[in-house]
Amino acid sequence: MQSFGFDNTYARELPGTYAPGKPATAPAPRLLFANLALAEELGLPAEVLQGPDAAALFAGNLLPPDAEPIAQAYAGHQFGGFSPQLGDGRALLLGELIDRAGQRRDIAFKGSGRTPFSRGGDGKAAVGPMLREVLMGEAMHALGIRTTRALAVAATGELVRRETALPGAVLTRVAASHLRVGSFQFFAARGELDMLGRLADYTIARHDPDLIGAPDRQLGFLRAVAERQARLVAQWLNVGFIHGVMNTDNMALSGETIDYGPCAFMEAYDPAAVFSSIDHNGRYAYANQPAIAHWNLARFAETLLPLMADADDEPAIERAVADAMEVIDAFPTALDGALLAGQRHKLGLFAATPADDAADAALAADWLTLLHTQAVDFTLAWRLLASAAEGQPEPLRDRFADRAALDAWLARWQARCASDGMPGAERAQRMRRASPAIIPRNHLVEEALAAATAGDLAPFEALLAVLRNPWDEAALLTRYAAPAATDVTAGYRTFCGT
């Protein structure tokens, strides 16, 4: 087995924050998915994914000699309640690679067996949820949204016990890092300030190197994390993505979307949309995501305070709290700003002036209210608005029951568009780069995963190919763009995939 060229700074620089681990042995490895484009980005030879050892490698049976598998410690607020010890219960970080763009990336297994953090779990994963992570991650990446990505999925040849026995699999996940809010919470909760400080400096060096050594670097880091999170959640909202389990252990400090468990894209626009089978109160519903990100960020700020001021220096603590609060309090406005910037593009408003934020935000809000009250498909409505920009409103109008209400809004919107003088065809073209034709529709994802679980990968592969090209106008005419029947969506439930 050849070396990957790993450089394992986390394992080297942060002893005490992880436990060494070893992947479980898979009885009959078989490669189900290989991401050649990502391997290329990582500078890994295609041979790694295509050679005779690939299945054994990505099922965890053969490790590159320079891999140093470790399970990282972290804590987390799950549905608002604090769990002081979570950690990688079914994941192992193998090592870090510097990609072709010079970025350090983590390569990790998910579903590779028990670790010291497994608690009652088996450490395993099933084929369906791991391929689901492939589809969701690749879709998000194609949509231009920062995300962890799947390098490979290998079936293990073993059954895992869930509600039923399911074929097992190991996912190889690539991430800017796996550092989370929960990583900091783990050491803050234990009062291990030395470790916390080293973790903070490590994370800053990795994600915000401009701040290395700055006296107020923790505050700067908090601000950087907040900015990334505001941009990310705004992007989620603008494609109708519902993460589903925004616990603090699932919020990456890199600003990538991480942990595709019960996530889903909504169909008809509904701010209260929630699909997760365990989210009974809608804590992580579509429209709650900004408030939850805000709350998670406050939990993150709390972990940094002991690094920002000495425990017995009252005035310094007060200053640190005030500084952190300023960042936290600015978050909703930052998120709204990022959301509106995205909405402007979706509305076809690309010129810098005239820019009346309140008027444009109201235009977007009224549009969404129309979609909500008339239960119109979020993705198609935005996409077909582009056609309306070049004088073809009929496909859009066909999706509304109350056309008079739509026409009144369209008149307002057209007047706003006219104010910048952009030709309709150009506006439409640019709008089609802001609103995808294709998202991973729940019924298609389920159909592909059910077939894959039964041994037929063809629907998964076909869906993946379509998801990688989400802006394609021709795709609008295919079944991949069509909404599910409303009763299918109403009854749709997602699971954490544990």
Contact at 8 Å (CB) between 405 and 371?
no
The nearer residue to ligand AMP, 133 or 323, going by C-beta atoms, is 133
The item of ligand AMP, Mg ion, none sharing an interface with residue 229, based on CB under 5 to 8 Å by kind, is none
Residue 261 touching ligand AMP (CB under 6 A)? yes
The nearer residue to ligand AMP, 89 or 440, going by C-beta atoms, is 89
The nearer residue to Mg ion, 250 or 254, going by C-beta atoms, is 250
Residue 496 touching ligand AMP (CB under 6 A)? yes
Q: Count of alpha carbons within 13 Å of 205, Cβ hemisphere only? A: 10
Query: Of 156, 185, 250, 494, which one interacts with ligand AMP (CB under 6 A)?
Result: 250
- What the block records as the tokens of 299 is 């939990």
Q: What is the DSSP-derived secondary structure letter of residue 102?
A: S
Residue 118 touching ligand AMP (CB under 6 A)? yes
The item of Mg ion, ligand AMP, none sharing an interface with residue 83, based on CB under 5 to 8 Å by kind, is none
Query: Which among 124, 120, 134, 117 is positioned nearest to 169, based on CA atoms?
Result: 124
Contact at 8 Å (CB) between 212 and 204?
yes
User: Which helix (H) or strand (E) segment is 129 a member of?
Assistant: helix 127-142
Query: Of 29, 123, 255, 470, which one interacts with ligand AMP (CB under 6 A)?
Result: 123
The nearer residue to Mg ion, 83 or 156, going by C-beta atoms, is 83
The item of Mg ion, ligand AMP, none sharing an interface with residue 183, based on CB under 5 to 8 Å by kind, is none
Q: Which 3 state secondary structure label does DSSP give 180?
A: strand
Query: Of 55, 60, 61, 90, which one interacts with ligand AMP (CB under 6 A)?
Result: 90
Residue 393 touching ligand AMP (CB under 6 A)? no
Cβ-Cβ contacts under 8 Å for 401 (sequence gap 6 or more):
374
Could you confirm whether 312 is annotated as catalytic? Answer: no
241-242 and 264-265 beta bridge pairing: antiparallel
Residue 259 touching ligand AMP (CB under 6 A)? yes
Query: Of 21, 29, 60, 87, which one interacts with ligand AMP (CB under 6 A)?
Result: 87
The item of Mg ion, ligand AMP, none sharing an interface with residue 261, based on CB under 5 to 8 Å by kind, is ligand AMP
**Stretch in the footprint of ligand AMP (CB under 6 A) among 28-36, 87-95, 208-216, 405-413:** 87-95
Query: Which among 385, 395, 382 is positioned nearest to 477, based on CA atoms?
Result: 395
Query: Which among 229, 228, 225, 218 is positioned nearest to 188, based on CA atoms?
Result: 218
The item of ligand AMP, Mg ion, none sharing an interface with residue 360, based on CB under 5 to 8 Å by kind, is none
* 255 backbone φψ class: left, alpha, beta (φ>0; ψ -120 to 50): left
Query: Which among 110, 155, 113 is positioned nearest to 22, based on CA atoms?
Result: 113
The item of ligand AMP, Mg ion, none sharing an interface with residue 436, based on CB under 5 to 8 Å by kind, is none
Residue 134: CB minimum distance to Mg ion, A: 17
Catalytic annotation, pick one of 88, 106, 208, 249: 249
The nearer residue to Mg ion, 41 or 259, going by C-beta atoms, is 259
The Cα 259–Cα 95 span in angstroms is: 19
Q: What is the DSSP-derived secondary structure letter of residue 403?
A: H
Q: What is the DSSP-derived secondary structure letter of residue 391?
A: T
Interior CA angle at 299 toward 295 and 305, to 5°? 135
**Stretch in the footprint of ligand AMP (CB under 6 A) among 8-16, 48-56, 122-130, 227-235:** 122-130
Residue 122 touching ligand AMP (CB under 6 A)? yes
Residues tagged active-site: 249
What residue ranges bind ligand AMP (CB under 6 A)?
A: 86-90, 117-118, 121-124, 245, 249-250, 259, 261, 496, 498
